[in-house]
A and B are shown apart, each in its own frame.
Chain A
Amino acid sequence: MTENHVPLEKHHVILEMRSITKEFPGVKALDKVTLKVRAGEVHAICGENGAGKSTLMKVLSGVYPHGSYDGQIFFQGEEVKFNTIRASEKAGIAIIHQELALIPELSITENIYLGNEVKSRGLIDWSQAGRLATDLLARVGLDIDPQTPIKNLGVGQQQLVEIARALSKDVKLLVLDEPTSALNEEDSAHLLDLLRGLRSKGLTSIMISHKLNEVAAISDSITIIRDGATVESFEVVDGNVDQDRIIRSMVGRSLDSRFPDHTPKIGEAFFEVRNWTVAHPTIPDRLTSKGSNFFVRHGEIVGFAGLMGAGRTELARSIFGRTYGRYIDGELLIDGKSVHLPTVSSAIAHGLAYVPEDRKVLGLNLLDDIKTTIVSADLGRISKHNVIDRDQEYSAAEGYRKSLRIKANSVDVGVNTLSGGNQQKVVLAKWMFTQPELMILDEPTRGIDVGAKYEIYGLVQQLADQGKGVVVISSELPELLGLCDRIYTIFEGRITGVFDKADASQEKLMARMTETVSATTL
């Protein structure tokens, strides 16, 4: 594939994970997973969300200490038993997570050497550290003053700093967890180039990704994990990767059956947004929504496609009780009448519901049990004279537990003990309980396993069939294409296009999401 590339067969195995089994109470997260990585290669691990990729990497890095899992790990020919992240780092394994672990207020140098300071006679030698940092930055292709605070860097640059930090620790195996998920195309390309360069210098990398084009572009071998088990592992020959084969292995069924069959029953438009203009909460002249116009019909599932930061969530939350940003202009109409929704409770009263993108941070009180959560957005329905009727609470929640097939022994179970998919069902139940006319779902299937996704798609379709309007915001274009009747695209706070299901495609959506086609074609 590239310069100085020694054929893989000649490389020894640097990492072998043998028959790793990791159990949580009631669920086997990993079931006899094996992984062999050869020195000097880029090894891709593919799998759906929840397949067990992250758990496997946590086992590798010592987050789950030796003894909490079954199986063996061999690194550089010796069996290793890591009990802490520090132990795995010491052995030369560095993991770069999706959530970057840099401290925004500190400089690049300080971050690179945090906990690993360059010392001279017991004191930190900042000038030496600065010189070393400059070298490291050059190695990752970042031409920037190492004194710069992290908060002034973009996400892509921060990722490179993370890699520089790993290199400073004399890393032998670099693990990147979804490294490009938050990057734009240019940064992504740069990162892939960097990985190639590091490979040519002998560094071994594991890349977790479900972006098949990237996987195809860079990997030397691929391991596919599904439902906690290794499905297959193969070498890439001459850069030819059969993407369909990967998909089939990942989802365990062909793409066609990822969505339940559904015939939409679309009625009249009932919810309309006109000229909706909202500014950033603290930066007054930055508009997060620029004169947006859209509408939703009864029984219709409407998608919103856009890159991260395009303003999809911001738009949704500014409509839902003005929970984001500063309102500047625009009008909301329900059944043709203009409505004013300054608070969440007024939005709920007008039949709106918003299921936020990050369940654990925005959607749930993890200390609550299922029943308390389900009724929380509409306590009035189960209260008499401001006193909660516990029997009604219980039976309402129990009804949703059964109809949504929430996997829990009872509704008294704490939501923190549920899996992502079941947590999402609880949040959906919470908003279905308010009996909304318009349900806005923000990334409804993020971090959920395939089976649960299928069920959630079914629920969304049921809602639509009851005549409600559903808005789905998602980063996964196949999801929007499979689920939605109509899809809006957003770019930098502007609605740049709308497509009916019939004539939408990934390419068309992407073009409008990135504005690579000229606006005149709109």
Chain B
Amino acid sequence: MASSGSAGLLHRSPRLRLGLLLGPPMLWLGVLYLGSLAALFITSLWTVDAFGAGIQRTWTLENFRTLFTLDVYRTITFRTLLTAVAVTVIDGLVAVPVALFMAKVASPRWQRILVILVLTPLWASYLVKAYAWRGMFSTGGPLDSVGLSPGYGLSATIVTLAYLWLPYMVLPMYAGLERLPDSLLEASADLGAGTWTTMRRVVLPVLFPAAVAGSIFTFSLTLGDYIAVKIVGGTNQLLGNVVYDSFLTGNNMPFAATVSLIPVVVMLAYLTAVRRTGALENL
């Protein structure tokens, strides 16, 4: 009786059903996720005492002033943005032919195999992949022996990150092209368009929102990265390193929080911009 009673109650009350369904994830998203983001923002408005011993909970814009006035932070911010843009562009250029081949040329069997091949690197540890690239770039390494290694530095970082995030660009593009019916390509040819005109007028417009969706991943993941640059980036620092160093070495959590707000603001601006393209419906 009891169980049928509660089942009946659930049946009669759609609000209760909805609450039970959405309660736990809303708690996670609202309290833990957005809550920590708010805590981040609040922390960025605090400071540390002169000895670096503890956090002083007094409201101050000191951290923001430091961030905006010291040249080194502006340089690092621009370097990070440049890296993110380069990684995104490289991934976009590599992913278009790969996704096009997977979605429109390969047989269904090869399609499955290629999806697995694209996904496989995601199963391997990030660190292993980054160190693998360190080996590639090292003096006397495979790339160096054919004279193609740029050595450790920003270029190596960009290549490594572009490799790491490539699946995040290929998969949305593949999904977008999969939804593009073959008959659209045939219709374009039938109406007199050659291969390049079809690419430009039919494939690219369909591909664009998918590319933007992929770029959200490649861009935001690059903005937050600090490990790859440590492994293959030589002496270069990205925003992630500033956060890491302020927090661990400098023991200055409020300043770390301030710096980490930069990627948040950049991503918010980016998301607002791409919302207009309809790319968010493609995620």
Tell me, yes or no, whether A binds B: no
User: Which A residues contact B (CB, under 8 angstroms)?
Assistant: none
